[in-house]
Amino acid sequence: MEVIVESGAHAIAVRVADAVCELLRRKPDAVLGLATGGSPLPSYDELAERCAAGLVSFARARGFTLDEYVGLPPGHPESYRAVIDREFVSRVDFGPGAVAAPDGSAPDIPAACRAYDDAISAAGGVDLQILGIGADGHIAFNEPGSSLSSRTRIKSLTRQTRVDNSRFFGGDVDAVPAHCLTQGLGTISEARHIILVATGANKAEAVRQLVEGPISARWPATVLQLHQHVTVLVDEAAATGLELLDYYRETLRLKPDWQGI
Ligand code: GLP
């Protein structure tokens, strides 16, 4: 796991965009894992700007989102399908149908979840997964207690996550669905490279657990310690709990130029 502390959200976005552009240069038909939430938005802005400037193309790429609420009517503006279309997909040049999302209104939820995992496998797996992290250490919607080898499935959201996400539902916690579909921790762990972005002091404890805590379903993101290629991009505020912060800074400073992230 590599930890990179940046000065702020823009510097993080540039790193993420550089990694996506480099991947698409090497592999134009790459498969991207796309997160919703606020953390990746500056990266999507940066990529949309670069795409508009002709510096990168998503025309042959494909994408899979991480999660979706259960019970929102199709087309609801806060469904993650609508959010990712609005915030990213519609702003770059993906082909029609190139980005898939779990179907939270499927009549047969277990079958839809299995089909989603199968679709990721059939696409060859995710080359680069962009992730955020919840204050309670969840990734996608894998709340504390999630099996570390879980697959895409239905989950109940914690009260805290519903409170956190109520800002998108007019501040009404009861308007936030109680259930979601989410790629499992096992599913996410199959991505070849994972970039996790976290900014702000309210993420500091989750980042501390993710990087330096014991691997535990109590902090689901800690499963990433078992992955061979994870890059954790944080700002100063989110890095404050890290015991080995000086070492991470030194490692970055001395890193060979050829290495990349
Ligand atoms: C949501 C999403 C996660 C996201 C997390 C943090 O619940 N399901 O994918 O990482 O919250 O969101 P934010 O980046 O807005 O803090």
CATH number of the domain enclosing 190? 3.40.50.1360
Distance (angstroms) between ligand 1 centre and the Cα of 43 equals 14
Q: Taking the CA atoms of the chain, what radius of gyration do you get in angstroms?
A: 17
pLDDT of residue 74: 81
188 in any annotated domain: yes
Residues spanned by the domain of 130: 2-256
Specify the ligand 1 atom closest to the Cα of 203. Answer: 16
Specify the ligand 1 atom closest to the Cα of 161. Answer: 7
67 is catalytic: yes
138 is catalytic: yes
| Sheet containing 67-69: order of strands | 67-69, 179-182, 153-156
Q: Which residues of the chain have pLDDT under 50?
A: none
110 in any annotated domain: yes
b/e for 215-249, b at 16 or more Cβ within 10 A?
Answer: eebebbbbbbeebeebbbbbbeebbbbbeebeebe
pLDDT in tens, 185-211: 999 999 999 999 999 999 999 999 999
| Ligand 1 near 223 CB (within 6 A) | no
78 is catalytic: no
**pTM summary value:** 0.96
| Ligand 1 near 177 CB (within 6 A) | no
| Ligand 1 near 3 CB (within 6 A) | no
242 in any annotated domain: yes
Taking phi over 0 as left and psi of -120 to 50 as alpha, with beta for the rest, 95 belongs to beta
Specify the ligand 1 atom closest to the Cα of 36. Answer: 9
136 is catalytic: yes
pLDDT of residue 75: 85
Domain count, the chain: 1
261 in any annotated domain: no
Q: Atom 6, ligand 1: which residue's CA is nearest?
A: 134
E-strand stretches of 167-225: 179-182, 193-198
Q: Atom 1, ligand 1: which residue's CA is nearest?
A: 37
Answer yes or no: are the C-beta atoms of 5 and 249 closer than 8 Å: yes
pLDDT in tens, 234-255: 999 999 999 999 999 999 999 9
122 in any annotated domain: yes
